[in-house]
Amino acid sequence: MRAFLLAGAAISGIVSTQVFAADLPPRPAPPPPPVVVPLFSWTGIYIGANLGGAWVQGDISTDLGYTWSRSNAQFIGGGQLGFNYQAGVFVAGVEGDFDWTSGRKSSPFVDTVAFGPVQAVGNWNWLATVAARLGLAWDRALFYGKIGYGWSRTSVDLETAAGDTICCGWGHTNSGLLLGAGIEYAFTNNWTGKIEYNFLDLQKRTFTVTGLNIVTTDPQVQMIKAGFNYKFGWGGY
């Protein structure tokens, strides 16, 4: 009899537990795992375009004994290609730029025996630079400096007071040390914008036109450029 009573109590307890469990609300589903947003990285190859202004300053002299200073400001525009690698907050890379310009500067007229009053007309054609970039990243902002080398293409004509070209359109490519600094900001994981200043210290070159030496003495170029880049990142970042 006692065994029957114990069995009945056990069965009653099991039924009561099941009925109580049926009255409880359903267990909530587990929360989804947190989404991990990757940190932005400057590592990657990039390509872009730029637009700005450039100023050339220097002295010009001739065998005729006349020396004049020139200051030539012009718009420039072109593109750049480069690569960055980020380690912690440090970013190192290399960048090449090419910009076109249509600068034109004329000297004062100088009297000559053969042609009468003659002036030298210099045409500024293009600029190209290759530089290392070293910078510090603050999340999506990059503060950087540049050091490298640059080239500038110029040509010189001799023109009379009547506007006739005597000679010769000869051109030379000057080269020299490049220094610069700038800031770049990543608006998305792939698109960035930048503004930078560059200083290009070119070497002295001599143009010889119809036996007349025209010397450009240590021309210096200053540039301010704004541009944008598209970055092909590592791992999609």
Instruction: Report the pLDDT value the prediction gives residue 20, as an integer from 0 to 100.
Output: 47
Fold of 44-236: Porin (2.40.160)
Tell me which residue of 41, 39, 38, 45 sits closest to 232, measured CA to CA.
45
- HEC string of the chain equals CHHHHHHHHHHHHHHHHHHHHHHCCCCCCCCCCCCCCCCCCCCEEEEEEEEEEEEEEEEEEECCCCEEEEEEEEEEEEEEEEEEEEECCEEEEEEEEEEEEEEEEECCCEEECCCEEEEEEEEEEEEEEEEEEEEEEECCEEEEEEEEEEEEEEEEEEEECCCCEEEEEEEEEEEEEEEEEEEEEECCCCEEEEEEEEEEEECCEEEEECCEEEEEEEEEEEEEEEEEEEEEEHHHC
What is the tens place of the pLDDT at every residue in 45-88?
999 999 999 887 766 666 666 565 666 778 999 999 999 999 99
- Segment 148-163 mean pLDDT: 82
Where is pLDDT greater, at 219 or 6? 219
Query: Rounded to an integer, what distance in angstroms lies between the CA atom of residue 109 and that of residue 53?
Result: 28
Percent of the chain with pLDDT over 70: 68
pTM of this prediction exceeds 0.75? no
The pLDDT, as a whole number, for residue 67 is: 61
**What's the mean per-residue pLDDT of the chain?**
79
How sure is the predictor about 6, in pLDDT bands with cuts at 50, 70 and 90?
Answer: very low
Picking from 4-8, 23-27, 48-52, 68-72, which range would have the lowest pLDDT averaged per residue? Answer: 4-8
pLDDT at 15 over 90: no
pLDDT, residue 223, reads: 94
Neighbours of 87 (CB within 10 A): 9
Q: What is the pLDDT of residues 108-151, one digit of tens each?
A: 777 777 777 877 777 778 899 999 999 999 989 999 999 999 99
Token couple for 130: 């290759």
pLDDT of residue 4: 46
